[in-house]
Amino acid sequence: MSPPTLTQSLLAGSLAGTSVDLLFFPLDTLKTRLQSRQGFWRAGGLGGIYRGVGSVVVGSAPGAAAFFVMYEQMKHLLLPLLPGEQSAPARHLLAASTGEICACLVRVPTEVVKSAAQTGAYAVSAAAGVERSGTGSGTGSGTGVIGKGKVGSWESARRLWGTEGLRGFYKGFGTTVAREIPFTSIQFPLYEQLKSLFFRYSGRKAYSGEAAICGSVAGGVAAAITTPLDVAKTRVMLEMRTGGKGKSIYGRLLQIRAEEGVRALFAGVLPRTVWISCGGAVFLGVYEWAIAIQLP
């Protein structure tokens, strides 16, 4: 079967990305605050759960579109090099990894802004009107007004640009890629395998609703397994501010384990798994539906 056209992948991916991000943004906010070193309540608690949604609206459509365009094209291009059903997991792994790298070029800046807005990392001191960046360098240290100022996406982006410039928007890029590639290496081969099993036993291609169930299972499994990588990525986004020294993802994982214990590596695992499991159903279900209706 020929892959979807470039236009189909663009439109279907954009629709899928926007749908899932807007629907499940509150769960993502709660997960991010649970993983914040300052703690859930100091990072904002249950308030302002849609704070930072503006950056998601800007980044979700092009990010998802970039992923699916590359994913579909790479699956097709890799077929002569890795033919047959036995090579299918490798094809899907390589295609998904390539797609994620392209998507991260768009997604990382919006994630940086989103995390800052969700946790108040660039909040304004009400008394002095002074901007202070939450460094996450210690618990109870008072470095930053966390969760106090109601700073949205656009203001967070402006302050980030003012303090760190373009480089600030890509802090954590390597860590994000290091998290996303293992995630997609689990999610998409599993998703495609589940669809193949459905075809084998039913004799037909999965409809969008059935593909959504496959996406939910694949997303939930991948989310639970890669939670420690997500915790490390979130710490990079929240802690690496001006002058911060980057760590390898392995080094940051060791640091969290040594200072806070293994339990901290799985902070937010439940909302992350629920969010991505439900999100996987919407994301892949909407994508398959949009492809099935033969968008131009």
Structure confidence by residue, pLDDT tens digits, 96-154: 999 999 998 888 887 777 767 656 655 543 233 333 333 333 333 333 333 445 566 67
HSE (CB half, 13 Å, CA atoms) of 52? 31
Asked if 44 contacts 114 with a C-beta cutoff of 8 angstroms, the reply is no
**Least confident residue range of 156-165, 222-231, 261-270, 281-290:** 156-165
Say if residue 183's pLDDT is above 80: yes
Write down the pLDDT at residue 196. Answer: 93
Query: Which contacts qualify for 125-130: CB closer than 8 Å, 24 or more apart?
Result: 125/149
Rounded to 5 degrees, what are φ and ψ at 124?
-110, 135
Q: What is the pLDDT of residue 138?
A: 36
Q: What average pLDDT is seen over the chain?
A: 78
Spatial separation of the C-alpha atoms in residues 259 and 239, rounded to whole Å: 15
With contact defined as beta carbons under 8 Å apart, do 165 and 242 qualify? no
Phi and psi at 269, nearest 5°, equal -65, -40
pLDDT-above-90 percentage for the chain: 29
The pLDDT of 5-27, averaged and rounded, is 85
pLDDT at 211: 94
The arithmetic mean of pLDDT across residues 9-20, rounded, is 88
* DSSP state, residue 87: G
Single out the residue of 148, 133, 111 nearest to residue 25, CA to CA: 111
Q: Which domains does the chain have, with CATH numbers?
A: 6-292 (1.50.40.10)
* pTM tops 0.85, yes or no: no
Q: How many CB atoms lie within 10 A of CB 201?
A: 8
Mean pLDDT of 250-263: 86
The pLDDT value recorded for residue 111 is 74
Q: CA-CA distance, 130 to 137, in Å (whole number)?
A: 19
pLDDT at residue 86 in the model: 87
Q: What local confidence, expressed as pLDDT, does residue 135 receive?
A: 32
**Bridge-partner residues for 131, per DSSP?**
124
Question: What pLDDT score does 40 carry?
Answer: 72
> Would you say 25 and 51 are in contact if contact means Cβ atoms under 8 Å apart?
no
CA–CA separation, 20 vs 238, rounded Å?
Answer: 23
Nearest-angstrom CA–CA distance, 238 and 244: 11
| Contact indicator for 153, 54 with CB cutoff of 8 Å | yes
pLDDT at 152 (0 to 100): 65
Distance CA(18)–CA(226), nearest Å, equals: 23
Hey, what are 27's tokens?
Answer: 């769960």
pLDDT at 34: 75
More confident residue, 186 or 24: 186
Q: Are 121 and 37 spatial neighbours (Cβ–Cβ below 8 Å)?
A: no
Could you give the CA distance from residue 106 to residue 119 in angstroms, rounded to a whole number?
21
Kindly report, residue by residue over 40-87, the tens digit of the pLDDT. Answer: 776 667 777 777 676 667 777 888 999 999 999 999 999 999 998 888
Q: What is the pLDDT of residue 10?
A: 87
Dump strand ranges (E) for 148-292: none
Residue 90's pLDDT band (boundaries 50, 70, 90)?
very high
